[in-house]
Amino acid sequence: MGTLTNKLLAAFILVLLLPLLLTLALLIRLTSKGPVFYKQQRLGYCKQPFAIYKFRTMKACPAETFKAAMPGDSRITRLGHFLRKTSLDELPQLINVLKGEMALVGPRPYVPEQNHHYETVFANYHLRYTVPPGMTGWAQVNGLRGYVKSDAAMQERVNADIYYIHHKTLLFDLKIMLRTLIHGFINNQP
């Protein structure tokens, strides 16, 4: 899908989901202290850095003490558990799609430190930068999502991302979006 199609679909979805987004923002504000949104640096198309948007799911803490959530992490709020399990915390990334930093479908973006590590481990990892990162992707609809336990587990994601890149078509993107909707956003990880 082209950039314009991604932006038009993202705008349509944002308008459609506006009541849900406002409700979630209000619930986050009422149930925990801190900002509604969480921003984090990621690397996107051609390794361009950008700030990814998510609904905040963890207790607010200073940025310098932040560490990625692990299974059973006590920093995740009660509402945050639900948002993560349903992937509703990812919906603010529609803003990233509108800004042209992401696509609806593509490899998920990672933080720069993870990218640097994976670039040294996987010879073909750099291919992920040849397409815009996505809100959902071939890896995610095949159950490869959430916390990455090891480099071996990451290899499966990289393989799925490379498969997507080599087979990327409008029909394939539509198939991934349809599978995302049919299977829901259920994630068994934190």
| 134 falls within a domain | yes
pLDDT at 162 over 50: yes
pTM value surpassing 0.85: yes
Mean pLDDT of the chain: 90
CA distance 3 to 137: 16
Beta strands in 71-189 (DSSP E): 103-105, 134-136
| 126 falls within a domain | yes
Domain span including residue 156? 3-182
pLDDT at 155 over 50: yes
- Indicate the DSSP class of residue 68: -
| 145 falls within a domain | yes
The answer to whether the CB of 102 falls within 8 A of the CB of 135 is yes
* Mean pLDDT on 164-169: 97
21-50 residue pLDDT tens = 999 999 999 999 999 999 999 999 999 999
- The total number of structural domains in the chain stands at 1
> Percent of the chain scored above 90 by pLDDT?
75
Residue 188's pLDDT is 47
Residue 190's pLDDT is 43
User: Within a 10 A sphere around the Cβ of 74, how many other Cβ atoms?
Assistant: 8
| 190 falls within a domain | no
| 80 falls within a domain | yes
| 76 falls within a domain | yes
Q: Return the structure tokens found at 1.
A: 């899908």
Query: What is residue 147's three-state secondary structure?
Result: coil
| 139 falls within a domain | yes
* Mean pLDDT on 77-97: 93
| 168 falls within a domain | yes
The answer to whether the CB of 40 falls within 8 A of the CB of 52 is yes
